[in-house]
Structure 1
Amino acid sequence: MTTSFPPDLIDGYRRYSGERLPEERRRLAQLARLGQAPRAMVIGCCDSRAAPETVFSTGPGELFVVRNVANIVPPYAPDEFHHSTSAAIEFAVRDLLVPDIIVLGHSLCGGIAAYLKGRENEEIRGEFIGPWIDLLRGSRAEAEQIDSAMASEDMQRAVEEVVVRRSLANLLTFPFLKARVDAGSLALHGAHFGIATGELRVMNPKTGTFEKVSEQAG
């Protein structure tokens, strides 16, 4: 059954067309004519509170974004089934030649909270969510290697960080991607965004720890 388009979204478009579109019209026309050449790919969570374009204050054509539940990168596994995230990675690396890929995790991730509660939880009994969350198996054990007695809220954040690190490791299982990393034409990065605080922390590639980004210009 067809219903009317959400009026608040129509109002949002009208604000966009009246305020931002006049400034972006030339850029959009250029992108339509020349195609896209994004600065980076961002693999983020589909949580509505953690939009990469908002976090990094970017405009049209700057980021190639793929979002899924819990910002998971599955391992390289070519077969006859459907692989949305892997397809986006392939396109970004092979066709768009992005120079950077960022895995962006965030606080209060519902997918990770569901994983920590267990598959018996009603939230993850769905036909698709449950099997997807199973990709996180073992993440808690990895976090507990740091501190097995950490509080539940600390465990949530620790697993969120583990998932970013595991997704980065899984990216390297894609042969065409690893070849570019080895050649020095592609760099991988991890980051974590705090929903309640607006704080961005980036992963130190040497230690795997996440360090706060200063809010002041360098």
Structure 2
Amino acid sequence: MKRVRPLPSYLVQRYQGWKATKYKDNQAWYRHLAHEGQHPRAMVICCCDSRVHVTAVFGADQGEFFLHRNIANLVPPFTEDGAQHGTSAAVEYAVTALKVAHVIVLGHSNCGGVRGCESMCSGEAPELEGKTSFVGRWMDILRPGYDRVKDIEDKEKRIAELEKQAVIVSLENLMSFPFVRDGIAEGTLTVHGLWHDIGEGEIEHYSAVDDKFVPV
């Protein structure tokens, strides 16, 4: 622990600026959130990618979204193995404790995790195949999606389609959670799949009827 250092000065300055302006102007709201607890409308499962700014894209206020980030916005299938599952725990808490009305899986363009999965599955990234690769073992979740797009000859088109498969696979895996299925059956929960083009600022949503992504 001796190697843990204080915050970089630029972050300290940004914090102080926030505290003196935005927090000061909205102090009552922040205190309301602190004392009344959170009541988010939706859970958003998105990528760790720093370019994916979920609250800005949807103009969300603090307390509106229950956010969970991981590599390539993946949801693993439901299991009862007793292991530690951060994403599964987040989904459980959002649905059963917070009672969110929506679970949204948000994929995006130029995803490094998805590109890594394509490289691993095509044999171009042996370093991700090892048991000690946390990224590789996490990206195993997306192998079924890769199998669906592997015959696309153009690599960049294959990767682009795999980004959308990351959303579809996650939606399929969400349906394996009993409390998600129960919420949908009872009409208290809906699930949604989105893909965001970072450069163009576009959003597409997955249409189950058409089995494809269409512009919002």
TM-score greater than 0.5 by the shorter chain: yes
RMSD, matched Cα: 1.8
2:45–2:68 CA contact under 8 A, matched in 1: yes
How far residue 123 of structure 1 moved from its aligned partner, in angstroms, is: 6.1
Aligned to 1:116: 118
| Deviation at residue 17 of structure 1 after TM alignment | 1.9
Contact 1:70–1:105 (8 Å) recurs in 2:
yes
Q: Answer whether contact 2:40 2:98 (CA < 8 A) is retained.
A: yes
- TM-score in terms of structure 2 length: 0.90
Q: CA deviation at 1:122?
A: 6.0
Q: Is the 8 A contact 2:119 2:125 kept in 1?
A: yes
What is the CA–CA distance in structure 2 between the aligned matches of 1:14 and 1:53, rounded to whole Å? 22
Q: Distance in 1 between matches of 2:107 and 2:144?
A: 17
One of 7, 28, 31 as aligned partner of 2:30: 28
Cα distance in 1 for residues equivalent to 2:63 and 2:160: 31
Could you tell me how far apart the structure 2 residues matched to 1:149 and 1:100 are?
A: 33
Q: Which amino acid aligns with 2:86?
A: S
Cα distance per residue 1:156-195 (max 9 Å; x no partner): 1211111101101111100111011011110000111112
Aligned pair 1:141/2:144, yes or no?
A: no
Q: Is the 8 A contact 2:102 2:189 kept in 1?
A: yes
Partner of 2:159: 156
Amino acid aligned to 2:21: E
Distance 1:185 1:51, change over 3 A: same
CA distance in 1, matches of 2:47, 2:97: 23
Deviation at 1:87, TM superposition (A): 0.4
Deviation at 1:212, TM superposition (A): 2.2
Give 1:153 shift: 2.0
Does residue 204 (structure 1) correspond to residue 207 (structure 2)? The answer is: yes
In structure 2, what is the equivalent of residue 132 of structure 1?
138
Look up the equivalent residue of 1:135 and give its one-letter code. I
Q: How does 1:1-218 map to 2 (within 5 A)?
A: 1-118=3-120, 121=125, 124=128, 126-144=132-150, 148-149=151-152, 151-213=154-216
How big is each residue's C-alpha offset from its partner over 1:59-95, in whole Å with a ceiling of 9 and x where there is no partner? 2110001110011100000222100000010000000
Alpha carbons of structure 1 residues 97 and 197: separation in structure 2 relative to 1, 3 Å: same
SS of residue in 2 equivalent to 1:137: helix
Contact 1:43/1:102 (<8 A) preserved: yes
- Residue type matched to 2:208 in 1? P
SS at match of 1:97: coil
Instruction: Tell me the percent identity.
Output: 37
The Cα shift of 1:150 comes to 5.0
Secondary structure, aligned partner of 2:26: helix
Deviates more, 1:66-75 or 1:132-141: 132-141
8 Å contact kept, 1:27–1:60: no
Which consecutive segments of 4 or more residues in structure 1 shift more than 6 A?
A: none
List alignment gaps of at least 5 residues for structure 2: none
> Residue type matched to 2:88 in 1?
S
CA distance in 1 between partners of 2:166 and 2:133 (Å): 22
**Aligned pairs, how many?**
210
